[in-house]
Amino acid sequence: MNNTGDLDAWRDLPALQQPEWDDPAEVRVVAEELAKQPPLVFAGECDQLRERLGEVARGEAFVLQGGDCAETFEGSNADAVKNKLKTLLQMAVVLTYAASVPVVKIGRMAGQYAKPRSKPTESRGGLELPAYRGDAVNGFEFTPEARRNDPWRLLKAYHSAAVTLNLCRAFTKGGYADLRQVHAWNQDFVASSPAGRRYEQVAGEIDRALTFMKACGVNPDEFHSVEFYSSHEALLLEYERALTRVDSLSGLPYDVSAHLVWIGERTRQLDGAHVEFLRHIRNPIAVKLGPTSTADDALALIDRLDPGREPGRLTFITRMGASKVRQALPPLIEKVERSGARVAWICDPMHGNTFEARGGHKTRRFDDVLDEVTGFFEVHRALGTHPGGIHIEFTGDDVTECVGGGHPIDEDDLHQRYETACDPRLNRGQSLDLAFMVAELYRK
Ligand code: PEP
Ligand code: MN
């Protein structure tokens, strides 16, 4: 089934949201160059994540997936990556401790460089230019030069992903993620925010538990490093195809650009190129499902992407919006569960809750984000199914992009530190607030 012919079958199908490149020959040269690069992740790691997600599908673990809406090349520096990881680790600790559940940590990191857009162009001050499609395609700056699609950016995306993943691996394996560091992750944060102070309490309790366990002679390896996985939207099929390799052990193809890749809400057509391509790779994969998804869409996606009904192979990331989740989600879950498929269900409470603020900034209300997660939990509890995790857009920095939270940001504050290259992200305090609230929902 998985010969390389199948890996190229998508080329004959409609592929939405692909950039128009000036010179297809140049794209081929770049793709050949990419195909020569070393893998970013290994098949065995992807298999391990698939097993973890199998645990999620069976109700034994919870996913925390997050990062920028759009990573930038400029953002692949030590400080920004460390701040993001630190926040992810803090959230994970809160969830693990307060909800007593194993947390599968997946960065929306080291590859999230391409964006689907609702409009092909953007107008400002009378000037109309191509929309920004992510650093892998063109530049964010609003100039004709920056907005020109440049295929060599695909290679730069690979290198930025490599640098970012290397940092993530170093931080998570090299001692920084040691549970004895729980206080250190909070050091620059504790006094300045209510979430930081609340976290400090949990960290103190964990400390005492660790000291107790050590005194009892228990000090397992799991306390000293964390399993961290990378993920991004598999949007640019030339890029994903060039980074797909046949694993020498199993003879099966893996997309070695990330451990998990997902299909976005705009590119999940059953007869489209994205579904066709992802069908053939062995990585764990996910599909976003918005409020217009029907149960039959979900079943057809399962037939295409997970014909073997393998727990962990397929995750559905639902993004219904706070006002719709309680109506739109139950029919999907019911029918999928009745079919016997074991998918993991994750809630993306960001993408159904975006609106334009008074000053023109794209934003989200913290309360809507929390309300969608609450609805997600309510629906799963009512059906007796497992709320398997959350997928969020966040940053480790103190940006002002989403309104509300424990240390509230007002619509009129948004301009202060609005730095996202695409959608508004939760800042560090808002992310931690959310983790505490999700832990409470989980415990109920
Ligand atoms: C995204 O995750 O940034 C995104 C575009 O989401 P969706 O495909 O759910 O719209
Ligand atoms: Mn987004």
Ramachandran area for residue 404 (φ above 0: left; ψ -120 to 50: alpha; else beta): left
Nearest atom within ligand 1 for CA of residue 69: 3
Q: What pLDDT is recorded for position 203? A: 93
What's the pTM value of the predicted model, to 2 decimals?
0.97
Placement of tokens 């460390």 in the chain: 82
Mutation pick for ligand 1 pocket among 72, 108, 235, 265 (CB with most ligand atoms within 8 Å): 265
Asked if residues 325 and 375 have their Cβ atoms less than 8 Å apart, the reply is yes
Q: List, as ranges, residues with CB under 5 A of the ion ligand 2.
A: 69, 423
Residues with CB under 6 A from ligand 1: 69, 116, 233, 264-266, 288, 319, 351, 423
Three-state SS sequence of 378-435: HHHHHHCCCCCEEEEEECCCCCCCCEECCCCECHHHHHHHCCCCCCCCECHHHHHHHH
Ligand 1 centroid–CA 265 distance in Å is 6
Ligand 1 centroid–CA 206 distance in Å is 35
Side-chain-side CA neighbours of residue 380 (13 Å): 21
Q: What pLDDT is recorded for position 1? A: 43
Q: What pLDDT is recorded for position 144? A: 97
Counting ligands in written order, which one lies closest to the CA of residue 233?
1
Average pLDDT, the chain: 96
Mean pLDDT of 79-107: 96
pLDDT 10s digits, 206-245: 999 999 999 999 999 999 999 999 999 999 999 999 999 9
Nearest atom within ligand 1 for CA of residue 112: 3
High-pLDDT (> 90) share of the chain, %: 95
Counting ligands in written order, which one lies closest to the CA of residue 393?
2
Ligand 2 centroid–CA 339 distance in Å is 31
Question: In the structure encoding, which two tokens stand for residue 384, read together?
Answer: 């007796």
Name 35's Cβ contacts closer than 8 Å, sequence gap at least 6. 242, 243
Name 312's Cβ contacts closer than 8 Å, sequence gap at least 6. 49, 50, 51, 52, 53, 54, 55, 56, 57, 284, 344
H/E stretch holding 244 reads strand 244-246
* Cα–Cα distances in angstroms (integers) from residue 421 to residues 131, 241, 253, 414, 428, in the given order: 12, 25, 32, 14, 17
Burial status of residue 351 (CB atoms within 10 A of its CB: 0-12, 13-18, 19 or more): buried
Handedness of CA 436, 57, 395, 140 (dihedral sign): negative
Asked if residues 110 and 40 have their Cβ atoms less than 8 Å apart, the reply is yes
Amino acid at 63: V
Nearest atom within ligand 1 for CA of residue 267: 8
Mutation pick for ligand 1 pocket among 118, 235, 260, 266 (CB with most ligand atoms within 8 Å): 266
Q: What pLDDT is recorded for position 191? A: 74
Counting ligands in written order, which one lies closest to the CA of residue 117?
1
Residue whose Cα lies nearest atom 8 of ligand 1: it is: 264
Mean pLDDT of 93-100: 95
Name 173's Cβ contacts closer than 8 Å, sequence gap at least 6. 225
H/E stretch holding 103 reads strand 103-107
Ligand 2 centroid–CA 423 distance in Å is 5
Burial status of residue 74 (CB atoms within 10 A of its CB: 0-12, 13-18, 19 or more): exposed
Nearest atom within ligand 1 for CA of residue 264: 8
Mean pLDDT of 137-151: 98
